[in-house]
Amino acid sequence: MTQQATLSAPAHGAPLIRDGRTARAERTRLAVVEAMLDLIEDGDLQPSAARIAARAGVSLRSVFQHFDDMESLLATVAELQAARAFSDARPVSAGLPLARRIEAFVAQRARLLERISPVRRAALLSEPFSTAVAGRLAWVRRRGHRDAERVFAPELARRAAADRRDLADALTVACSWSTWEALRAHRGISPARARRIIVRTVTALLKEES
């Protein structure tokens, strides 16, 4: 009875079928992205499509039904991770006293940089060969620069144009992932100490000339 009713009303059933297929496709796509993210965070910086499919619990064919190549998948992974990492970020007010601004800005940046490190390492391996990955990294870098300019706008505004540009770029580098990686991975420094070093660096850069 129910089966006959369904067959006799395709106009009503078809959208439901399409919606169901769309939902399943979205779930599969997300499962693939999250599987690659999990593998990268576990230390597998260049996971194969087969390992991703196995982790996601889908067929190998499904991976390439949703992504043109591994680089486009990695770019989507980086996008998802950035969205999640930035989701709990709260703008640091430029109206706070300088010392509090520096502490708040560096604390927030340190949490972000530590969180994105595994995917950033993976993305850097693909950046020279993938316009999608390069574009995603460029966006994140521009955002980092804009955030530093916004938070420290009062101090930058007091500088001459050329000095202002130099200071803004210096702040960007001091608070960048490259600096964080140099401290954490190359120097073997703890997150707390790395954060203190960056606070000290930013404070020195912003110190008023006598």
13-64 pLDDT, tens per residue?
555 555 777 888 889 999 999 999 999 999 999 999 999 999 999 999 999 9
Task: Report the 10 Å Cβ neighbour count for 90.
Answer: 7
115-137 pLDDT, tens per residue?
999 999 999 999 998 888 898 89
- pLDDT category of residue 4 using cuts at 50, 70 and 90: very low
**How much of the chain exceeds pLDDT 90, in percent?**
70
155-172 pLDDT, tens per residue?
999 999 999 999 999 999
Cβ atoms of 39 and 118 closer than 8 Å: no
Q: Where are the alpha helices (DSSP H) in the chain?
A: 2-7, 10-41, 49-56, 60-66, 70-87, 98-126, 131-151, 153-157, 161-174, 177-181, 191-206
- How far is 183 from 198, CA to CA, in rounded Å? 9
Please determine, for residue 3, whether its predicted confidence score (pLDDT) is greater than 90: no
Each domain of the chain, given as residue ranges in start order, spans 2-67, 75-206
56-98 pLDDT, tens per residue?
999 999 999 999 899 889 889 988 887 887 777 788 999 999 9
Coil, strand, or helix at residue 67? coil
* pLDDT given at position 8: 38
Residue type, 170: A
